[in-house]
Amino acid sequence: MSEWWRGAVIYQVYPRSFADSNGDGIGDLAGLVTHLDYIAGLGVDAVWVSPFYTSPMLDFGYDVADFCGVDPMFGTLEGFDAVVARAHALGLKVVIDQVYSHTSDQHPWFSDSRSARDARHADWYVWADAKPDGSPPNNWQSLFVGSAWTWDATRGQYYMHNFLREQPDLNLLNPEVQDALLEVARFWLDRGVDGFRIDAVSHFTHDAQLRDNPPRIGGERSRPVDFQQLLYNSDQAETLTFLERLRSVIDEYPDRLALGEIGGPDSAARSLAPYLAPHRLHTAYSFRFLLADALTPEFVRTAVGEWEHAHAGGWPTWVFSNHDAPRALSRWGGEAAPPPYAIVLNALLLSLRGSVCLYQGEELGLPQAHVPFERLRDPEAIANWPRTLGRDGARTPMPWIAKGRHGGFSPAEPWLPMEPRHLPLAVDMQAGVGNSVLESTRRLLALRRRHPALIDGDLKFVGGTESVLAFERTAAGDRVLCVFNLGATAVRGVAVAGRWRSLAGSVPAGAEVAASIALPAYGFVLAAPAGA
């Protein structure tokens, strides 16, 4: 086994917003194919394609109506095969989402399940009788808004949904459901995908007794679900058994990846060790940074230390931004965050011990987009507006050509508006410009590929200050010193032990790094031992 994923950089594409090939305002698989050269040219190892399956798109593809079909708005199965073929020709692995916790209510399985209590798929979803007073079976709350239970008059029972009411939860306590999902996995593995990003893993199974969740003390409370500990509708032992079955299928194919999303209100404090045990997931991405409102050296030290302490040697995957969270640049740097802040964030992300998911646009330094209420599409954002930023601001179209129609994304009005502040940051404005975020990120990715220490070496913190983070990455025969000023003011007198030469950053490449470093605001230096 090559374990290609260990230390890999995986570029996440949100296909609706990446590139539109047919002029309908929605990105598609053909558009992705035409830009795979760009992705490969960044120097990443893999591309993760968010859902493109047949769906009514109430949750934009995470409400799946056919696990083995491509929604016509994205193309065809043959179009997906073209993505895989072209990516492989460019040396890129292909990772796709698998959504096993729920389906769309338009899925044929659910249509049959709700038709009668003795239907073929009757027990493929989570159904329960009402309480004597007609209220839901228990107090479980949806992660979006309101009760996790919806009454179905046809069947005369409530069905469970951890997300939208149109996303009924599959009953993975039923072995037949597990068998069907394993066949879905085989379908895509047979088509040549190199791995799965597995959605909502912690919500795969539920407490069969349907016990009430206890109250959650403290923490932010913007939704009803935030008032509960998700003790009985999350993190159940039966999920681990299913993951072992899934992993056994994945292991039938050489060099494939199982990457888990394990989220929820308490995800920052949860130990992922049970999910990362042998014969389950290869890795999972931490929500520690996605949920953080501020980035400080102390926070980074804590987040990394928590992983090493709690996860029993499990391999981490780090994520600063994705389609489910406001972009890190704005979340941590504010509305006026400058390009050097975007560069130092990418330098830090690409220097941490673990694999990396780099979300489309991070290599350009895109800030969170402003989407007016009347243009919002995200059901979570609409339900909780204006309390939460929502997800639409991280899902707006990719800017390719600054002076092109809608930023070169599409000749038609895009499904979400193009953010005007993104146009000066378009790919054509940054390509070939040496100090741009794009070219800086390309150099950082190339540097990572040249240094084994940055791919899978050990990490040791070596001092720092209130605004400066410093650590060493070490592998056999390779050492890299990483120093980052995460503050908005210049610093002087950052002590460095030993003699080093700069590889990248605020000190010119090849120059000796002084024993007392001066770094500008959002400056950084990556360095190798002098004489190495």
199 is an active site residue = yes
Q: Which position has the token pair 């493929």?
A: 124
Judged on CB neighbours under 10 Å (0-12, 13-18, 19+), 198 is buried
Q: How far apart are CA 172 and CA 237, in angstroms?
A: 12
Distance CA 151, CA 134 (A): 10
Kindly report the number of other CB atoms within 10 A of residue 205's CB atom.
Answer: 24
Q: Exactly one of 20, 28, 194, 199 is catalytic; name it.
A: 199
Our CA angle for 184, 9, 400, nearest 5°, is 95
Give me 498's structure tokens: 């030993």
User: How many CA atoms, within 13 angstroms, populate the side-chain half-sphere of residue 331?
Assistant: 23
Q: Tell me the residue ranges of DSSP E strands in 100-203.
A: 127-128, 149-152, 157-160, 195-199
HEC-encoded secondary structure of 218-261: CCCCCCHHHHECCCCCCCCHHHHHHHHHHHHHHCCCCCCEEEEE
- Degrees to nearest 5, angle at CA 195 with 191 and 196: 105
Which runs of consecutive H residues, i.e. helices, occur in 93-252? Answer: 108-113, 175-190, 237-250
Question: How far, CA to CA in Å, does 90 sit from each of 83, 193, 356, 380, 444?
Answer: 11, 14, 20, 37, 20
CA 187 to chain centre: 23
Among the options 252, 255, 335, 413, which is catalytic? 252
For residue 164, count CB atoms less than 10 angstroms from its CB and return exposed for 0-12, middle for 13-18, buried for 19 or more: buried
User: b or e along 302-336 (b: 16 or more beta carbons within 10 Å of the residue's beta carbon)?
Assistant: ebbeebeeebeebbbbbbbbbbbbbbbbbbbbeee
Distance CA 360, CA 406 (A): 17
Residue 199 backbone phi and psi in degrees, to 5 = -75, 140
Nearest to 176 by CA among 245, 274, 260, 251: 245
Nearest to 295 by CA among 527, 21, 520, 522: 522
**Neighbour count for residue 220 (Cβ, 10 Å):** 11
Q: How far apart are CA 293 and CA 346, in angstroms?
A: 17
**Bridge partners of 141?**
147
Q: How many whole angstroms separate alpha carbon 53 and alpha carbon 67? A: 6
Q: What is the largest distance, in Å, between two alpha-carbon atoms of the chain?
A: 78
Active site members: 199, 252
